[in-house]
Structure 1
Amino acid sequence: MIDLMLDLLGVAFLYLSIGYCLRHQTAKSLDDASLIPFADDPEVARRVEVATGKKIDAVAPEPQQARPGWGNLEI
């Protein structure tokens, strides 16, 4: 019986903790956060926009330039 009470108390604590952490979030901010993983690849962002109908502000990554002393190493 005590195990059941502790389990219910744990679930209630988890539910209230998550609700407390997300209390200032809006539906738009949560939706934008779910699309962040696709924002750095314009091609994938376009495919996700077509599939979901949601606008993603994609940013192309800056081209990588070789640093001095960092060349191609042939092994």
Structure 2
Amino acid sequence: MMEVMLNLAAVACLYLSVEYCLRHQSPKSLDDASLIPFADDPDVARRVEQATGKTINAVAPEVAKPGWGNVEV
């Protein structure tokens, strides 16, 4: 019985801590955060925009500077 009570207390603690961490987040900010993984690949961002209808602020990948390519150590 004590083990069940400790498990319930752990689940309640986890739930309350997640709620505490997300208390100032709006649905818009959470939606934007879910689209971040697609922002660095413009082709994938375009496909996700077509599939979901949500706008993704895609960023072009960084280009390697001359002389900073494959460096042998």
TM-score normalised by the chain length of structure 1: 0.86
Look up the match of 1:43: 43
Count of paired positions: 72
Kindly state the Cα deviation for residue 66 of structure 1 after the two structures are TM-superposed. 2.9
Judged with a 3 Å threshold, the aligned counterparts in structure 2 of structure 1 residues 16 and 72 are, in CA distance, closer, same or farther, namely closer
TM-score normalised by the chain length of structure 2: 0.88
Deviations 1:5-63 (A, max 9, x none): 00000000000000000000000000000100110111000000011111001011232
Please provide the CA RMSD for this pair: 1.8
In the TM superposition, structure 1's runs of 4+ consecutive aligned residues that sit over 3 Å from their partners are 70-73
Kindly state the Cα deviation for residue 64 of structure 1 after the two structures are TM-superposed. 1.2
Percent of residue pairs identical: 65
Unaligned runs of 5+ in 1: none
